[in-house]
Structure 1
Amino acid sequence: MARIKPQALLQQSKKKKAPRSISIPTIALYSVVTVVMVFFLFATYRHWSQRSIIQTEEGTSNFQVEEDFSDSKKTDIPRYAVFNTSKGLITVELFKEGSPEVVDEFIDACQKGHFKGMLFQRVVKHFVIQGGDSDNHAVIEDWTSREKHYNQLEKRLKHEAFMLGTSNTKHEKEGFDIFITTAPIPDLNAKLNVFGRVIKGEDIVQEIEEVDTDEHYRPKSRIGIIDVTLKQKI
């Protein structure tokens, strides 16, 4: 029997101990399995996350719909009117509870575009500014005729400045005129139907009040209302 040489034995031992190499198809298979598992876990996580968000949004949406439905009757009537004038914006809070018929008439006039292009035809410093299509200024003449006596009247005023009102006369023929007071007027109830209060833009009212006028309190330059926007809230 022939003897095996030591060098050949060493080479055979190395061959037996050497690790077996992993084939390329096996590596590809493991990679595919790993990718599939990762994709499945990600898809599962995304599905449950979106479901949780949708349930939360549905609950919130249902609550908002119910709340909006319960408050729908309260928001039917606009609570504010924004006068866009040639001098700037004047925001008025409407007194629906105190003057429901006048407010309804005012809202109807706004929706018909009655105030678009309306001029302020009378401006009396420390009293009122008047806007309207009519040239009837009986209220203005009555107030100004007693201008010198106002300082002697009692201080128990019924109304403050920056109140919005309209004349007591019917508006079918002359249209809906408006007055914004620029000072407290003791007998305002007898002259106007007050249906609102300026809550923003008092400086614009005062700027209009300071324009130059003729002897009949008519502004020498054209100042008017561009349009009126009705709002539920501001």
Structure 2
Amino acid sequence: MVKIKPQALLQQSKKKKGPSRVSIPTIVLYALVVVVMVFFLFATYRHWSRRSMIQVENSLSTGEGADSITRLKKSDIPRYAVIHTTKGSVTAELYKDGSPEVVDEFIESCKKGHFKGMQFNRIIKNFVIQGGNVERPGATEDWTARGKHYSQLDTSLKHEAFMLGTSKTRNDGGGFDIIITTAPIPDLNQKINVFGHVIKGEDVVQEIEEADTDEHYRPKTRIEITEVTLKQKI
């Protein structure tokens, strides 16, 4: 029997344990398989994407999608307005369902910065506080006279205290004004469009109401709105 030297045995064992080389054709084959799989996945993705778009278009045509979009738009509409004043902040809930057109106008005015620097130019104790860009003393006396008849008090929300509204007639170029009632007022339905309700900051409203005024109910010390912030949640 032929004896193998230990050194030769060691070299043979190293050759057996060493990894075998991968041929170039095998590498090319694997690469082709990967490319085919990627192409298949991409084609599948495009197919289902197109199918989803077609389903959405069909839903829109039947009205189902339109309802979904309407719900989405409603969720994007701010539900609250924070009126920052020199006396503090007042938070009001907006009545989008009850006064949609007025709320839309209010939101648009906020985005344009309409209320920044607006002065409270009319303060009538136990009645209303009003912020606006135009002063009309004559109208104040008319409001006060109408507001004194409390015998016909209505239970409508429009007659509660701390309601947020705006004048129905704004033909003087003053733009959107802000009115907050400070007592239940029964006779202002023809004067005010109510579009919200104060839910926080009633003490700030009352502090503004207590300001000293002249004979035309104009505050002697300037009180103004610094900014109005729109929010989805509070």
Which amino acid letter does the alignment assign opposite residue 104 of structure 1? D
Deviation digits for residues 171-206 of structure 1 (CA, Å, limit 9, x no counterpart): 682211111000011022111000010000000000
Give the Cα separation in 2 of the matches to 1:121 and 1:228. Answer: 17
**How many corresponding residue pairs?**
164
Deviation digits for residues 66-93 of structure 1 (CA, Å, limit 9, x no counterpart): xxx9974332111100001000010010
Aligned to 1:155: 153
Q: 1:126 to 1:75 in 2, by over 3 A?
A: same
| Residues 93, 198 of structure 1: 8 Å contact kept | yes
| Residues 157, 184 of structure 1: 8 Å contact kept | no
Aligned to 2:94: 94
Give the Cα separation in 2 of the matches to 1:177 and 1:200. Answer: 20
Aligned to 2:186: 186
Q: 1:160 to 1:76 in 2, by over 3 A?
A: same
Give the Cα separation in 2 of the matches to 1:217 and 1:126. Answer: 12
Give the Cα separation in 2 of the matches to 1:176 and 1:167. Answer: 8
Q: 1:141 to 1:157 in 2, by over 3 A?
A: farther
Higher mean alpha-carbon deviation, 165-174 vs 98-107, is at: 165-174
Percentage identity across paired residues of the two chains? 66
Give the SS at the match of 2:115: coil
Give the SS at the match of 2:113: coil
Summarize the alignment of residues 1-234 of structure 1 with structure 2, pairs less than 5 Å apart: 72-146=72-146, 149-151=148-150, 153-158=151-156, 159-170=159-170, 173-234=173-234
| Residues 157, 185 of structure 1: 8 Å contact kept | no
Give the SS at the match of 1:188: coil
Give the Cα separation in 2 of the matches to 1:227 and 1:73. Answer: 25
Give the Cα separation in 1 of the matches to 2:123 and 2:231. Answer: 27
| Residues 165, 195 of structure 1: 8 Å contact kept | yes
The RMSD of aligned alpha carbons is 2.0
Give the SS at the match of 2:149: helix
Q: 1:155 to 1:189 in 2, by over 3 A?
A: closer
| Residues 149, 187 of structure 2: 8 Å contact kept | no
Q: 1:123 to 1:72 in 2, by over 3 A?
A: same
Which amino acid letter does the alignment assign opposite residue 149 of structure 2? Y
Larger Rg: 1
TM-score, with structure 1 as normaliser: 0.65
Which amino acid letter does the alignment assign opposite residue 125 of structure 1? K
Deviation digits for residues 92-144 of structure 1 (CA, Å, limit 9, x no counterpart): 10010011110000000000000000000000000000000011355422121
